[in-house]
A and B are shown apart, each in its own frame.
Chain A
Amino acid sequence: MSALLSPGTKVRVRDDWPETRGPCHIRTPHYLRGAEGVVEKHLGAFPNPEDLAFARPAASLNLYHVRFVPKAIWPDAAGEALVVELYETWLEAAR
């Protein structure tokens, strides 16, 4: 596991599309790939579901609640905040 991200840290969801490369199981919604958000809370550490789904040995990953601004994702969006559970392997430093 990587070092813990503290609340308020700006992050970017990796703009990666493993589903274009072969069978996979992903818990990161399409609409967030490449989006920037802010870490709200560390939720704990859980076995990587991308490996669990294929009965492979699964490393423990930090899981975070990350907050996004809906209008930055869809210009016509309503609502002030969108909060999503994301694993550390999907997060990189915001540009």
Chain B
Amino acid sequence: MSEVLEHPSDRLLAAVRQLLTDKGVITREEIAERIRTTDSASSAQGARMVARAWLDPAYRARMLADGAKAAEELGIPMRGMPPLGVLEDTAGEHNLVVCTLCSCYPRAVLGYPPFWFKSAAYRARAVRDPRGLLREFGTELPQGVKLRVVDSTADYRWMVLPLRPAGTEGWSEEQLAAVVREGDMIGVTFPKVS
């Protein structure tokens, strides 16, 4: 990096990194691996899991039993990540995820959280007025569908496994993954076929 572009925090980062490796707290390879993991995390990873679960009932069962193992099965790095729980939407019940205490989010499979997920308004309203909140996202629950709000307060991270939308019969896994957005796996929206 040239002298002109170097920021004081870059030198601080280099110094901390040097200390961590000199003292044997962590190796350079481990730091590089974690940077790769963070950079590769996005909601496209979670979408791949959802699409696979829609097509493969055995994978679906494994994903509901242990989300982290199911993610690793698709090559998504989960080492050092919190356990991943998967909330299954059914014809009669829809799940919505919030972290009222802070911003717990399944980053390994959904990437960085959207800005509103951390807002006080979302966190307060998701537990108390979730139907009003869903309406503002343009989501109307069908008549008779129960709403189950999951407040992510502790060691787990949670993602929603939404229902497969109508009009996707015969689609490939890649086509299906392309219609699954981050909001669908938080539970504020449903996957839509345009």
Contacts and interface: CB of A to CB of B under 8 A. Distances in A.
Interface string A20-63: 00000001110100000000000110100100000000000001
Interface in A63-95: 63, 70, 74, 76-87
Contacts of B151: 29, 82-85
A49 B154 contact: yes
Nearest to B83: A44
Interface string B127-171: 111111000000000000011111111111000000000000000
Nearest to A28: B153
B113 interface: no
B96 to A, nearest CB: 8
B128 A70 contact: yes
Question: Is chain B's binding surface mostly helix, strand, loop or mixed?
Answer: mixed
A5 to B, nearest CB: 16
B82 to A, nearest CB: 9
Interface size class for chain B?
20 to 34
Contacts of B148: 79-83
A29 B100 contact: yes
A83 B154 contact: no
Contacts of B127: 31, 70, 77, 79, 82
Given A29-B100, A79-B148, A80-B146, A85 B153 contact: yes
Interface of B: 83, 85, 96, 100-101, 127-132, 146-156
Given A29-B151, A81-B147, A85-B154, 18 more contacts: A27-B101, A31-B100, A43-B156, A44-B83, A46-B155, A74-B128, A76-B129, A77-B127, A77-B129, A78-B130, A78-B147, A79-B149, A82-B148, A83-B148, A83-B149, A84-B151, A85-B153, A85-B156
Interface of A: 27-29, 31, 43-44, 46, 49, 63, 70, 74, 76-87
